[in-house]
């Protein structure tokens, strides 16, 4: 931990709201940090040496955060009846969940009809301009 100049290298861990110096040991060219037991705030910490970033570390406060449990289908059905914004889709019957969602929520796609109507209106406008211009050109203007 001592450099060539006799100065001790001190690593710091810091995040947005706190900064501390952990206990440090160097064994076999590797740095080992002993984190204080009062490190309770989860998040990303920056490891710095002489105010220059060396690396980043992330800490989770509770192991429950990484728990991979999930709701059963029955529990989801109960949530669906309680909360109107919860919808349950199952991939049963050979139809994918995306297809079920599209069938139940999307309805009839109207963009094709709107596109056809816009093209017909454009065609009508072109026809009106073409025939209206030829009629106006045939009429003499009185002065």
**Domain residue spans in the chain?**
11-63, 66-106
- Tens digit of pLDDT for each residue in 52-76? 888 998 887 777 767 788 888 888 8
User: Residue 100: CB partners within 8 Å, gap ≥ 6?
Assistant: 89, 90, 91
- Token digits of residue 1: 């931990």
pTM here is: 0.39
pLDDT band at 116 (very low <50, low <70, confident <90, very high): very high
Helix runs in 1-143, H state only = 73-82, 97-101, 111-138
Please tell me the distance from the alpha carbon of residue 55 to that of residue 49, in angstroms, as a whole number. Answer: 10
pLDDT, residue 97, reads 78
Report the 10 Å Cβ neighbour count for 24: 14
Distance in angstroms between the alpha carbons of the first and the last residue of the chain: 103
Percent of the chain whose predicted confidence (pLDDT) is above 70: 83
């Amino acid at each position: 931990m001592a450099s060539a100049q006799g100065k001790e290298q001190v690593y710091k861990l810091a995040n947005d709201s706190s900064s501390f110096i952990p206990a440090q040991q160097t064994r076999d060219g590797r740095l080992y940090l002993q984190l204080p037991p009062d490190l309770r705030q989860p998040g990303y910490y920056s490891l710095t040496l002489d105010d220059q970033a060396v690396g980043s570390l992330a800490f989770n406060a509770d192991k429950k955060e990484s728990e991979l449990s999930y709701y059963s289908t029955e529990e989801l059905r109960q949530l669906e009846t309680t909360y109107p914004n919860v919808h349950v889709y199952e991939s049963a019957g050979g139809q994918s969940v995306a297809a079920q969602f599209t069938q139940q929520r999307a309805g009839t796609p109207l963009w094709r009809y709107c596109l056809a109507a816009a093209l017909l209106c454009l065609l009508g406008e072109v026809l009106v301009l073409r025939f209206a211009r030829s009629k106006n050109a045939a009429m003499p203007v009185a002065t």
